[in-house]
C-alpha cells in the first residue's frame, strides 16, 4: 500500500453546482477508495490555488493513476495532480541505495 496526495482545482461549473446544492464530497470519495482496495486518510478544502486535497492509501501506482484519470475525465476539475508520498524510512533507504552512489554529472559540470 502506498500513500498518495491528490491536488484538485475545481472548475467554475463545479463550484456553481456545489453552491446550488452543497454536499459532503467525502461521502462520494470514500466508497471509491474502498472499492479499489484503498482508504481515504484525509480530505480538505484549500483557499487559493488548489481547491481540494485528498490523502489516501492505494494498492499501487496503477490504481492511483487509474483513479486520477477517471477523476480528470469527469470534467469537474481543471487540474488534477498526484503526489506519491514516501515514508521517512523509504527516503532513508533511497538515500543509501545504489542510485545514491551512481555517477551523475550535473549539467555544466566537467566530465
Q: What is the mean pLDDT of residues 4-13?
A: 96
Predicted local distance difference test score (pLDDT) of residue 100: 67
- pTM of the complete model: 0.84
**Phi, psi at 69, each rounded to 5°:** -65, -45
Q: Are strands 52-58 and 2-10 parallel, antiparallel or unpaired?
A: antiparallel
Dist. CA 104–CA 56, nearest whole Å = 34
If you average pLDDT over every residue of the chain, what do you get? Answer: 92
Query: What pLDDT digit, counting tens, does each position of 58-105 carry?
Result: 999 999 999 999 999 999 999 999 999 999 999 888 888 766 677 778
pLDDT band per the 50, 70, 90 thresholds, residue 106: confident
Dist. CA 70–CA 74, nearest whole Å = 7
Half-sphere exposure of 45 toward its Cβ, with a 13 Å CA cutoff? 8
Amino acid at each position: 500500500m502506498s500513500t498518495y496526495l491528490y491536488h484538485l482545482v475545481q472548475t467554475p461549473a463545479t463550484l456553481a453546482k456545489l453552491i446550488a446544492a452543497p454536499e459532503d464530497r467525502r461521502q462520494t470519495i470514500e466508497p471509491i477508495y474502498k472499492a479499489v482496495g484503498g482508504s481515504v486518510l484525509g480530505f480538505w478544502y484549500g483557499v487559493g490555488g488548489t481547491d481540494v486535497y485528498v490523502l489516501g492509501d492505494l494498492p499501487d501506482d496503477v490504481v492511483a493513476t487509474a483513479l486520477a484519470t477517471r477523476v480528470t475525465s469527469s470534467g469537474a476539475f481543471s487540474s488534477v495532480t498526484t503526489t506519491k508520498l514516501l515514508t521517512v524510512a523509504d527516503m532513508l533507504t533511497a538515500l543509501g541505495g545504489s542510485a545514491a552512489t551512481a555517477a551523475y554529472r550535473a549539467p555544466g559540470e566537467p566530465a
